[in-house]
Amino acid sequence: MEDYLKAIYEAQRGGADPVSTSRVAASLDVTAPTATSMMESLEERGLVEREKYKGVRLTTEGETVALEVVRHHRLLETYLTEHLGYDWATVHDEADNLEHYISEEFERRVADALGDPTVDPHGDPIPDDSLEPVDDAPGRTLEDCGEGERVVVQRVRDRDPDELAYLDGAGITPGTVLRVVEVAPIGMVTVEVDGEQLSLPDGVTASIFVAAAEERADANGVA
C-alpha cells in the first residue's frame, strides 16, 4: 500500500500525469491487474484520484502519506550511511524494507541523531516532519549539458548498486564538480573529474542531475 503510493509519487515527480497502471505495476514488479485493484483500494480510501483507463494522481492526503514514506526512506539512507557504515551504493534496499516499519519515535530519534538533515546521500531532499511537499523535481541531467560547461552534481538517482559503486569509485557523488568535455552523438558524455577524463553512457548520464557550477552550489539545488 505504502509502496504503491511511493511508486506513484516517484512517477508523478518524474513527470507522469496521470500515472498509468502499467507504470506502477512495472516499478513494483506486480502484474497489471494487481496494480488495478490496488488503485481501486487507494481510490476508496481517498488517497488517489482515478480516471479509468487513464491512470491515477495522488490526492493531497495521498501525497502526505507518500511523503512520510519518502521521509522515512531518505532518513534511513542517511542514517545507515553515516552511522552504520553502509555503502552509499547498497543502502537502498535496506531502507526500502525498513521505511514501512519504523515508528514515529524512531523517525524522530534518527532525525535528531543526524541533526535534521535536508538531503540524503544521493542528494535527494528529505521532507521535513510537517510533510509539506518538497521541491523534489529533478533538474537538468548530465545528458542535457553542453560541451565545456562546468557543473556540480546535485543528485544521483541511479538504483543499480554496481553502477553507483562505479560512480563512487570515480569520485562522482553529490557535490562533485564536473567539466563536460564532449557530448558524443552516440549517447555518450565525457566529463573531467579531478583532472581525469571519464566517459559515461546515456543510461547513466540520464540519472545524474546537475546544476551550473558557479561560485559554489548550495546543498539542495534548484539553483
> Where do contacts with its own copies occur on this chain (CB under 8 A)?
80, 83-86, 93-94, 97-98, 100-103, 105-106, 109-110, 112-113
Decide which of DNA, its own copies, none touches 98; Cβ closer than 5 to 8 Å per partner kind: its own copies
* CB 161 to its own copies: min, Å: 12
DSSP state string for the chain: -HHHHHHHHHHHHTT-SSBPHHHHHHHHT--HHHHHHHHHHHHHTTSEEEETTTEEEE-HHHHHHHHHHHHHHHHHHHHHHHHS---TTTHHHHHHHHTTT--HHHHHHHHHHHTS-SB-TTSPBPP-TT---------EEGGGPPTT-EEEEEEE----HHHHHHHHHTT-STT-EEEEEEEETTTEEEEEETTEEEEEEHHHHTTEEEEE--S---SS---
* CB 4 to DNA: min, Å: 7
Under the binding rule (CB under 7 A), the answer on residue 11 touching DNA is no
Single out the segment in contact with DNA by CB under 7 A; choices: 37-45, 84-92, 112-120, 199-207. Answer: 37-45
* CB 48 to DNA: min, Å: 11
Residue 188 pairs with which residues in a beta bridge?
184, 201
Decide which of DNA, its own copies, none touches 54; Cβ closer than 5 to 8 Å per partner kind: DNA
* CB 153 to DNA: min, Å: 33
* CB 88 to its own copies: min, Å: 14
Under the binding rule (CB under 7 A), the answer on residue 41 touching DNA is yes
Under the binding rule (CB under 7 A), the answer on residue 27 touching DNA is no
Decide which of its own copies, DNA, none touches 106; Cβ closer than 5 to 8 Å per partner kind: its own copies
Of the candidate residues 31, 60, 103, 130, the single one contacting DNA (CB under 7 A): 31
Interface residues toward DNA, by CB under 7 A: 1, 20-23, 25, 29-41, 50, 52-55
